[in-house]
């Protein structure tokens, strides 16, 4: 009974310590996370080496590990911390980092229970040759193939056997280009040779595609800037054309009315305004201006006030038609 309680307390202590560490790390800038991403695996490995736990209790411990850290936790507990630097992030974040650094992404999908996994991890993936080459030339990202993004990537990459590695690059939109797949066990020398050949064959094309994409982005930006300028110019032009004008209208009985219109209003709008006043004694009429005399009748109804020369102010007379 006492042994069971001690085991339970140990698990709770490990869970609390790890969770607190994760919370502290997740609040740090990304650059700091870059340097200490192996800490969780190191802490868990160190403690478990002194207090071995049954498998079901270790799985219970892993429940509270964030998805981004799960692979590192599982991998380092079994294979230690001498391995390529795997970014503890979502795949799309690793892809973005690779794009910014003009690198490819090395994807490793981990199958813990596969019989060939231990030898591949110990002898190839964690070898000094592979570690140095991958850290110098790639952005490495790993996931457990049976869960989360690891399962999604396994399906997307159509994995048929393990161990499994792939080299991918960002393509258009949110898609990726699969440049190389390595399925099954390989030696460190063979893995590095495959990766080196991929860099040599695909590197130039990748840089050209990045350059072309950047050119498209610049061209689109230039077009948007030109469109914005044209739009602002149209707004300014529209504002000038729609400037208000003051119109004085004299009626046959001597009444005067002042009304504001815009330069884009038509002669018809003046007639509508006069009709809305419902002035007694005003039947059929036409609008005229003096000096020189000009009639604004039915033929001019669709003429704008600017076209009619009534901008910025003018006086019109209402002349009755017998």
From the centroid of its chain, how far is CA 131?
A: 31
In this structure, which topology does domain 66-215 adopt according to CATH? Glutaredoxin (3.40.30)
Residue 63's pLDDT is 56
Dihedrals phi, psi of 251, to nearest 5 degrees: -105, 160
Indicate the Cα dihedral angle 62, 67, 72, 76, nearest 10°: 10
d(CA 144, CA 69): 11
CB-count exposure of residue 98 (10 Å: 0-12, 13-18, 19+): buried
Q: Tens of pLDDT along 192-219?
A: 999 999 998 886 666 656 666 666 667 7
d(CA 19, CA 23): 6
Residue 36's pLDDT is 33
pTM over 0.75: no
Residue 126's pLDDT is 97
In this structure, which topology does domain 244-320 adopt according to CATH? Ubiquitin-like (UB roll) (3.10.20)
Residue 57's pLDDT is 41
Residue 207's pLDDT is 61
Low-confidence ranges of the chain (pLDDT < 50): 1-8, 10-11, 13-58, 60-61
From the centroid of its chain, how far is CA 117?
A: 36
CB 155 within 8 A of CB 121: no
């Amino acid at each position: 009974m006492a042994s069971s309680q001690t085991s339970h307390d140990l698990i709770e202590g490990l869970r609390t310590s790890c969770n607190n560490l994760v919370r502290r790390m997740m609040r740090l800038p990304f650059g700091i996370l870059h340097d200490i991403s192996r800490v969780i695996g190191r802490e868990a490995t160190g403690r478990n080496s002194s207090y071995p736990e049954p498998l079901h209790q270790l799985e219970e411990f892993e429940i509270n590990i964030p998805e981004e850290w799960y692979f590192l936790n599982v991998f380092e507990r079994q294979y230690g911390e001498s391995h390529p630097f795997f970014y503890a992030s979502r795949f799309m974040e690793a892809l973005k980092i690779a794009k910014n650094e003009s690198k490819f992404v090395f994807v490793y999908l981990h199958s813990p229970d596969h019989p060939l996994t231990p030898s591949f991890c110990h002898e190839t993936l964690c070898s000094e040759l592979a570690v140095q080459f991958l850290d110098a030339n790639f952005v490495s990202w790993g996931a457990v193939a049976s869960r989360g993004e690891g399962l999604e990537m396994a399906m997307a990459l159509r994995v048929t056997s393990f161990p499994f590695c792939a080299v991918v690059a960002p393509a258009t939109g949110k898609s990726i280009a699969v440049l190389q797949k390595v399925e099954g066990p390989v030696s460190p020398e063979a893995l590095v040779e495959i990766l080196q050949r991929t860099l040599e064959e695909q590197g130039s094309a990748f840089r050209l595609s990045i350059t072309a994409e950047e050119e498209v982005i610049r061209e689109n930006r230039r077009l948007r800037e030109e469109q914005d300028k044209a739009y602002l110019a149209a707004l300014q032009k529209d504002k000038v054309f729609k400037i208000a004008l003051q119109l004085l209208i004299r009626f046959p009985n001597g009444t005067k009315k002042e009304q504001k219109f815009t330069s884009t209003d038509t002669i018809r709008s003046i007639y509508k305004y006069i009709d809305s006043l419902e002035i007694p004694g005003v039947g059929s009429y036409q609008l005229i201006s003096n000096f020189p005399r000009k009639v604004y009748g039915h033929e001019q109804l669709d003429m704008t006030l600017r076209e009619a020369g009534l901008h910025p102010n003018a006086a019109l007379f209402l002349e009755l038609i017998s």
